[in-house]
Structure 1
Amino acid sequence: MASSSQNNKKYDAFVSFRGEDTRDNFTSHLCSAMCRQNIQTFIDDQLNRGDEISESLVNVIEASAISVIVFSEGYASSRSCLDELVKILECKKEYAQIVIPVCYRVDPSDVRNQTGSFGDSFSKLEERLKENTEKLRSWRKALKEAASLSGFLSLNIRRESEFINEVVNDILKRLDEVFRPRDNKNKLVGVESKVEEIESILGVESKDVYSLGIWGIGGIGKTTIARAIFDKISGDFEGSCFLENHKNVMPFIDLIFRRLSRMKVLIVFDDVTCFSQLQSLIGSLDWLTPVSRIIITTRNKQVLRNWGVRKIYEMKALEYHHAIELLSRHAFKQNHPDVGYVELSSKVMKYAQGVPLALKVLGCFLYEREKEVWESAIDKLQRILLPSIFEVLKISYDSLDDKEKNIFLDVACFFQGEDVDPIMKFFNASGFYPEIGMSVLVDKSLIAIDSYNKITMHDLLQELGKEIVRQESINPENRSRLWHHEDICEVLMYNTGTKKIEGICLDMSKVKEIRLNPSTFTKMPKLIFLKFYSSSFNGENKCKISYLQDPGFGEVKYLHWYGYPLKSLPSNLSAEKLMLLEVPDSDIEQLWDCVKHYRKLNQIIPAACNKLIAKTPNPMLMPRLNKLVLLNLRGSKSLKRLPSGIFNLEFLTKHNLSGCSKLKRLPEISSGNISWLFLRETAIEELPSSIERLHRLGYLDLLDCKRLKSLPRSLWMLKSLGVLNLSGCSNLQRLPECLAQFSLPIILNLAKTNIERIPKSISQLLMLRYLLLSYSESLQSSPKPPFRARGPLALQPFSGIVKDTLRIQHTGHTLAVRWQEIWSDFPLEKIHVVLAGNEIPKWFKFQSVGSFITLEMPSDFFHYSRVQGIAFSAILAFSNRHVDCGRWFSFSFELKVKTTKDCGPHDTQLFESRANYIELDHLHLGHYLLCEEDFNGFWKCNCIPEAVQFNVFPSLECECCGVKKCGIYFASQILRTQ
């Protein structure tokens, strides 16, 4: 097909019609309506007098983007009309011209077959030209072809005005498609799927005015999406308006809305900052015609709530493949990084975190730069936010009041990823009214609270907060908050602290030893937050001091000092202000007497204080500790017993006794609100039966309690229990018979125990999610998982993961036999087994060296094969650096697909698990069953598997584990066993 530049067309539309039939009625009304919509329309009235019509028509038709053919009763009686029709269809074939047939008071079948009154007109012409058979044949063919195209039939619509509106709206939509850029370089990245999602929301079957809010941080792409939607669907409305600069628009707002008030309209209000702005712009929705649509973009979610929008759409960061494409378009002028720049691009991606603004700015900044410049820029970005990004993000910060700004800066500098509850108490103690302040920050997308109750903040927003503090002064001692180790070292080593400093947070693993002057903190009278910690696995205190000079610490509310070097707390800590105390691995000898005056304390963490004297606190002290939320005595190896009322403290929810190796028993419990209880590596021999009174206990950790012999039956009465860790309880030989009481999803870890038999009642544990049996060498019979095919109980599937169940050197036969045993015993949605070995079993059809497998699959793979599941295998190798990464790593695989339909991205992480680091190479083997939702999603979009990617995390921070080989097998014969 030949191509033609549609953007060079002289006319939007050419109208072919029989003048005697419709010139003074239908066609004149149609052309007037088209002109009102600024559609450049040609009708033959515009031909210059004396022009040869046939030649002029050829030029006009070829110069039009769309041809509209008005078939009327007498159309086929005109030779010129039929010649126009033939030329129009030639342009359709040769130039892909759009043709819209309009049947005005005639039936399309009569046009197609030249029958009825329409056929009578053609017969008269045919009689006159009966000898010109070739011409007649071409006309018949053209009539048949044109009448078969999708078009409009006036007989189906009673009112002519409605009929004309339908035709004009269709022309507008077709023109939008014609002139929409097709150049891939101009195509917006990652927008199409979002536009379709929002478009489907706006297309709800509602006859009322429908309003939609688009909400997200600055630079996330709200305006881009709103503009893309507006450009795509505005043609469906009688009137439309995209309002960006509200201040400049205000003088004309009455005129604009008076024009729109009688129409079905689409209005976009971009970057609305407050509710009053909307009230000034639009007032109420009463004046709008039904079926109108309103789109509002904002950084403030509360604006949308106050306005009462029907739906709030949260703008998320770009997915990785879209983000790398957007960065590459600006940095390399192509859709992917240049060879040699992939790793550098990944580092930039990590910084930008999928924010389109950052990706564009950074891409333009790094365009045609050498690798050395990239490296330098990446290092610089760790400390300085680029001005263009800073100014956009700062708009949200500037809208906050002073207390909200303080909360934002504290989170950015100190509390990213911290538990919300103690931080809320700290903000309360600071007079910041966090209940309202935090909600404002959430509504403005400046912070979020995740499912683990942690405060989270986008990396760019965190950099914004730090940059705001940096701009307070060029000298760190004159800033309100210090977090960078170099700045803190400078202030502490040279004792240059000032009254400007309110908070210090130092990671001591990043510095050499610092000798503090006893008067260091007397120069910081406004200090309220002090945290000296170590992110290293084997951390140590680097801040040494012989004594503390008074006054100092008088305003401190939050004190965390890892390895605190003195035997007692600072003498002038304010009893009325201190509310959180953490001194892990310190030299403190007396604790209870130290804290008796601190009535606002809600956390005490003297963890791993080996010199802590094992002295039971005076019972009279207990009421003074009633505000405690967290008590961390981890590693206090001299501690032998606890006060009798310690579990009864009203607000105590977390109690950590891990590593208290001389603690043999717990006191009796009469009540309590403990939700987390850590008893790992203690000398506990049995739990009190009164533990059932801890009704809110959700996490019980008994890891490596090697003296634990039995569990009380009352333990299974804890209906809130979600995690029970008995791993390493090598003296534990049996479980109580009754295991069916849990009402929440539960993880049960029985690894490295001496349990010989799992009670049959485990089959009644309908909420069991994970069952871990690593190294359980005494286990004589495998437990049966919950039976899932009974009524409403089947709504909660068992998705457990069995880890390290088998640790054998395997041959192909042995592996097949043992695998069959596992499958018959555990018909689970997920299984993960670890075996000693370094070869992928031969029956895995697709195998590869490394972590990536390329697949060659038929295009109808999901259409004609009901894939039941995917079996996987991978050989993981470990370096001796794995000790720095902790005990666990995360293992997952992702299925990458392509699709022949426009359904958006369907790449899916199908499996994720955690496992221990192991010295030798091991085979990780398992399967994932595709549920109906998974399969239907792949089937509907005609997905074709292209590749499988195996991932191990952490991989960027700690390169201690890698995938040597991997294999995949698609199982279409495995049947789900209920």
Structure 2
Amino acid sequence: MASASTSSVEKGYIYDVFISFRGKDLRTSFVDHLYHALRKSGIIVFKDDKDIEVGQKIGDELPKAIKDSKFHIVIFSKRYADSYWCLNEFVEILEICQNPEEGTFFPIFYHVKPSEVREQKGPVEKAFAKHSENEAAGRWRAAMAEAATLEGWELDKTGDGHEVQFIEKIVQAISQKPYFANFSINENLVGMMTRVEKLLLSLQVGFDDVRMIGITGLGGVGKTTLASVVFNRIANQFDVKSFVQNVRERSKDPKGLQDMQQRLLTSMFGDQSIDVPSDFEGRSMMQRRMPSIKVLIVLDDVNDSKQLEALAEPSWFRPGSRIIITSRDRQVLVAHGVQSHNIHDVGTLSDEDAIRLLSRYAFKTECPAEGYEELSKKVVKYAAGLPLTIKTLSSSLHGCPVQEWEDGITRLETVPWGDTLKILKISYDALEEDQKEIFLHVACLLKDERKKRAIRILESLGFRAKFGLGVLEKKSLITLRDVTHRCDDCDCDYDDDKKLDMHDHIEEMGMHIVRNLHPVEPQQHKLLWIRDEIEDIIEKDMGTEAIKGIKLLETDLPPAKILHSLRKMSRLCFLQVGWILYYEKSQSYSRRVYEYFTSKYHLPNSLQFLHWKRYPFRYLPKTFHGDKLVEMEMPSSHIHQLWKGGEKKVLPKLRLLDLTGSKLETFDSAGMTPNLEKLVLRGCEKLVEVNISDECLYVKKLDLSNCTALEKVTISNECQNLDKLELGGCISLRELQLHGECPSRLESLYLSDTKLRSLKLGLAANLEVLSVEQCEDLEELVMPVECQKLTALTLCGIKKLRSFNPGRIWKI
């Protein structure tokens, strides 16, 4: 069947089929199956999903939907006639269909006979009996008698009463009507039916207002196709219409806006003599002339609000006009006043729809040819739901033997597809330079990172991360997906429930941009993430100043060799090293080789972000000063002290230090971390003492939980910004010294399972959570004078408490 996507161009119908039925009888059974069968064939269906109470009148929506539909199916069931709503709706349909050019009516007799409808006998008579005194009963009877004489379908005489066969015959009969015969872009509607319907509902053609609708999404995802389908469907309901393509590209010309204004005016008013001297005067001309006509305008591929200001100010148009705008940048639409509920995001295709689309282009059928099923799945997997990629690939593979398909798929695994890449790169080229760098870091290094952590990392590298990621999201270059679990290897907040994500081809584009400058010299790439290339550079000692970021999640190289190779990477800012298999084979490796490699042991002083899981050495390199280091994460490391011999070096920019599960024995911030904001030493089983000195004015979070050997914690009175202190599970902790008053901004304090005997919290007026659960030695607890914000106080398991001064606790 040819597509319904443009099936309504001639008459201007919005819907192909309107279904009238009694909801309580059929909504979740026969009608539901018929509805989905019609839609699967590319037919747009209006099906009212409301249950209407007896006595209610047909509202404004239904008569309009009836008029805007070409075909009208009325399903006469045994109880159809007992509904005032159904009968009134039916009369409306029959009146419309008196004129064949306005609509066509088909009755379906569902377990009733045409004669029973025509003469109101049997179950129909029983259902109709309740209307005997209604003044409209005569009109309803006459309408039913007339309907039963028209061409229709009777379930009991079709397919031996089998509903599946019955529905197939109905769909086949509808789709073969001449109405559908002259349209041939069926492939464009694969996976789009729901999108078209939603867009039509948002447009609400016929309502007396000016409405702007936005369509956003990745390049190549089908925004223009969707706009075209809807444009063709409703074009004849407007006085004039215009589809303006490639607005972004045409705007690059110095007179681009002026030229588009002139084309709009000349096409809409049929006056080739119209001359637009400048885009400023063009705006004035459009403002004067547009209010006289009801227009439909599509502005395709808009990327700047200035384009909309020149072509489509809402105040210019006559009520009833509709403007559809496609853009990769959602913010452009929002800035121009398009309401968020009128902005439609076009997502990628499902695997099922992707296979259908590929099959139509590659095999001219609805499913892959025999022998090509698995190959088709591989192509679809590569395309990742992007229609443009599917069309490009499947068209190029049309008519090719299996071997050429296999060769093509092998090539795809290593080389980006050219046409798709060019289209996707348009969004990248429009970014500012720092936004481009953020995008490349996400594509190559930070995809799948939690959003808050990614922001921290990017900020540590000097980027305006929140703003930059916001721009990338609005331009559909990244997306955010929900997560529910906490990371084990990094300091992630529990409420950090979003991860950075992007379409596979967008990711591939970013990687291609980085690699394309030096395709055969990975040592010249600024970002490295491919294990084989990184290991080759390290083994051959080919490090260069060009390298700024390395992500090595797994390797079996000796750790000392990695450190030795870094000496040439003097501009390295980002280093992430994960699982080192070599170390796992030799637990004593760090002790045996440290002295031998001490002269070759190196970390670049240019580092701003450092993450090294299971770092195998006892100390940081002697030559490493860390003047630029902003974040350092070394979970499950063998670090005993930061530098050998207890040496202290100032880390002036360090904001986060995470040594979770390390072998650290003591930590004293004095003279070392003046700008520290977060210290995470969770699970450091050898840690005995922690001192947070008075120079740590900015520290906000201390997580020392489950440090089972920890005996003493000292926090300076100057640390007034501290809002979260976690000491739960420190089963040896006997001394918590809060010099002076307790930090005034402290919100959460966890002290469960400690050996504390006394706790005096002074003026911690912002305290919200206090847990001293199972503190069996606690004898004295003094709360703040006022605890207006306290929402959780856990005291269970305290056996020796003799003195408890709760202050004034307003709510718990």
1: CA distance, partners of 2:759 / 2:309:
64
The 3-state SS of whatever aligns with 2:316 is coil
The 3-state SS of whatever aligns with 1:388 is helix
2: CA distance, partners of 1:484 / 1:237:
56
1: CA distance, partners of 2:654 / 2:245:
50
2: CA distance, partners of 1:325 / 1:675:
56
2: CA distance, partners of 1:369 / 1:334:
15
Residue 801 of structure 1 is matched in structure 2 by: none
1:228 aligns with 2:233: no
The 3-state SS of whatever aligns with 2:690 is coil
1:559 aligns with 2:610: yes
Residue 585 of structure 1 is matched in structure 2 by: 636
1:457 aligns with 2:502: yes
1:662 aligns with 2:709: yes
Residue 530 of structure 1 is matched in structure 2 by: 575
1:318 aligns with 2:318: no
1:637 aligns with 2:719: no
2: CA distance, partners of 1:566 / 1:392:
48
- Higher mean Cα deviation, 182-191 or 573-582? 182-191
Report the Cα offset of residue 377 of structure 1: 5.9
Native 8 Å contact 1:489 1:514 kept in 2 = no
Residue 384 of structure 1 is matched in structure 2 by: 415
The 3-state SS of whatever aligns with 1:642 is strand
> Aligned letter for 1:243?
V
2: CA distance, partners of 1:581 / 1:5:
58
Q: How many residues align?
A: 589
Question: Structure 1 residues 642 and 350 mapped into 2: Cα distance closer, same or farther (>3 Å)?
Answer: farther
2: CA distance, partners of 1:387 / 1:235:
38
> Aligned letter for 1:318?
L
Residue 552 of structure 2 is matched in structure 1 by: 506
Residue 535 of structure 2 is matched in structure 1 by: 489
Native 8 Å contact 1:627 1:652 kept in 2 = no
Report the Cα offset of residue 192 of structure 1: 1.6
2: CA distance, partners of 1:535 / 1:269:
54
Residue 925 of structure 1 is matched in structure 2 by: none
Report the Cα offset of residue 444 of structure 1: 1.2
Report the Cα offset of residue 742 of structure 1: 13
Question: Structure 1 residues 4 and 648 mapped into 2: Cα distance closer, same or farther (>3 Å)?
Answer: closer
Could you tell me the TM-score, scaled by structure 1's length?
A: 0.50
Could you tell me the TM-score, scaled by structure 2's length?
A: 0.59
Question: Structure 1 residues 432 and 97 mapped into 2: Cα distance closer, same or farther (>3 Å)?
Answer: same
2: CA distance, partners of 1:355 / 1:701:
52
1:303 aligns with 2:314: no
> Aligned letter for 1:578?
L
| 1:395-415 deviation line (CA, Å, top 9, x unaligned) | 111112222211111111111
Report the Cα offset of residue 701 of structure 1: 11
2: CA distance, partners of 1:692 / 1:648:
15
| 1:170-226 deviation line (CA, Å, top 9, x unaligned) | xxxx9x992477889536122121122222222289644221222222122211221
Report the Cα offset of residue 230 of structure 1: 1.0
- Kindly report which structure 2 residues correspond to 1:168-183, keeping only aligned pairs within 5 A, or say none: 178-179=179-180
Residue 76 of structure 2 is matched in structure 1 by: none
1: CA distance, partners of 2:346 / 2:353:
14
1:256 aligns with 2:301: no
1:267 aligns with 2:319: no
Residue 276 of structure 2 is matched in structure 1 by: none
Residue 83 of structure 2 is matched in structure 1 by: none
Question: Structure 1 residues 539 and 353 mapped into 2: Cα distance closer, same or farther (>3 Å)?
Answer: farther
Native 8 Å contact 2:652 2:675 kept in 1 = yes
2: CA distance, partners of 1:278 / 1:244:
13
Question: Structure 1 residues 497 and 353 mapped into 2: Cα distance closer, same or farther (>3 Å)?
Answer: same
Report the Cα offset of residue 294 of structure 1: 0.9
1:547 aligns with 2:578: no
> Aligned letter for 2:655?
N
Residue 839 of structure 1 is matched in structure 2 by: none
> Aligned letter for 2:301?
D
The 3-state SS of whatever aligns with 1:597 is coil
- Kindly report which structure 2 residues correspond to 1:182-201, keeping only aligned pairs within 5 A, or say none: 186=187, 188-201=189-202
The 3-state SS of whatever aligns with 2:301 is strand
1:597 aligns with 2:655: no
- Higher mean Cα deviation, 341-350 or 250-259? 341-350
Report the Cα offset of residue 579 of structure 1: 0.9
Report the Cα offset of residue 228 of structure 1: 1.7
Question: Structure 1 residues 244 and 686 mapped into 2: Cα distance closer, same or farther (>3 Å)?
Answer: farther
Which of structures 1 and 2 has the larger relative contact order (alpha carbons within 8 angstroms, sep 6+)? 2
Native 8 Å contact 2:302 2:327 kept in 1 = yes
2: CA distance, partners of 1:672 / 1:409:
38
1: CA distance, partners of 2:427 / 2:380:
23
> Aligned letter for 1:457?
M
Structure 1: tracts of 5 or more residues without a match: 14-65, 67-88, 102-140, 150-173, 754-767, 769-978
| 1:348-406 deviation line (CA, Å, top 9, x unaligned) | 55544433223434444666778887777666555432222211111111112222211
Native 8 Å contact 1:663 1:682 kept in 2 = yes
Residue 609 of structure 1 is matched in structure 2 by: 662
Question: Structure 1 residues 177 and 431 mapped into 2: Cα distance closer, same or farther (>3 Å)?
Answer: farther
Native 8 Å contact 1:554 1:573 kept in 2 = yes
The 3-state SS of whatever aligns with 1:516 is helix
- Higher mean Cα deviation, 188-197 or 429-438? 429-438
Native 8 Å contact 1:385 1:463 kept in 2 = yes
Report the Cα offset of residue 562 of structure 1: 2.7
Report the Cα offset of residue 289 of structure 1: 1.6
1:472 aligns with 2:520: no
Report the Cα offset of residue 564 of structure 1: 3.2
The 3-state SS of whatever aligns with 1:564 is coil
Question: Structure 1 residues 189 and 529 mapped into 2: Cα distance closer, same or farther (>3 Å)?
Answer: same
Question: Structure 1 residues 184 and 210 mapped into 2: Cα distance closer, same or farther (>3 Å)?
Answer: closer
Residue 317 of structure 2 is matched in structure 1 by: 288
The 3-state SS of whatever aligns with 2:241 is strand
2: CA distance, partners of 1:696 / 1:327:
59
Question: Structure 1 residues 597 and 256 mapped into 2: Cα distance closer, same or farther (>3 Å)?
Answer: same
2: CA distance, partners of 1:677 / 1:725:
12
Question: Structure 1 residues 5 and 664 mapped into 2: Cα distance closer, same or farther (>3 Å)?
Answer: closer
- Kindly report which structure 2 residues correspond to 1:420-459, keeping only aligned pairs within 5 A, or say none: 420-421=451-452, 423-424=454-455, 426-428=457-459, 430-449=461-480, 452-459=497-504
1: CA distance, partners of 2:465 / 2:360:
42
The 3-state SS of whatever aligns with 1:534 is strand
> Aligned letter for 1:297?
T
Question: Structure 1 residues 229 and 626 mapped into 2: Cα distance closer, same or farther (>3 Å)?
Answer: farther
Question: Structure 1 residues 550 and 664 mapped into 2: Cα distance closer, same or farther (>3 Å)?
Answer: closer
> Aligned letter for 1:482?
L
The 3-state SS of whatever aligns with 1:560 is strand
> Aligned letter for 1:506?
L
The 3-state SS of whatever aligns with 2:619 is coil
> Aligned letter for 2:443?
A
Residue 203 of structure 1 is matched in structure 2 by: 204
Question: Structure 1 residues 317 and 710 mapped into 2: Cα distance closer, same or farther (>3 Å)?
Answer: farther
Native 8 Å contact 1:584 1:606 kept in 2 = yes
Residue 356 of structure 1 is matched in structure 2 by: 387
> Aligned letter for 2:678?
L
Report the Cα offset of residue 323 of structure 1: 4.0
Report the Cα offset of residue 271 of structure 1: 0.5
Native 8 Å contact 1:429 1:577 kept in 2 = no
Native 8 Å contact 2:728 2:750 kept in 1 = no
2: CA distance, partners of 1:223 / 1:579:
45
The 3-state SS of whatever aligns with 1:410 is helix
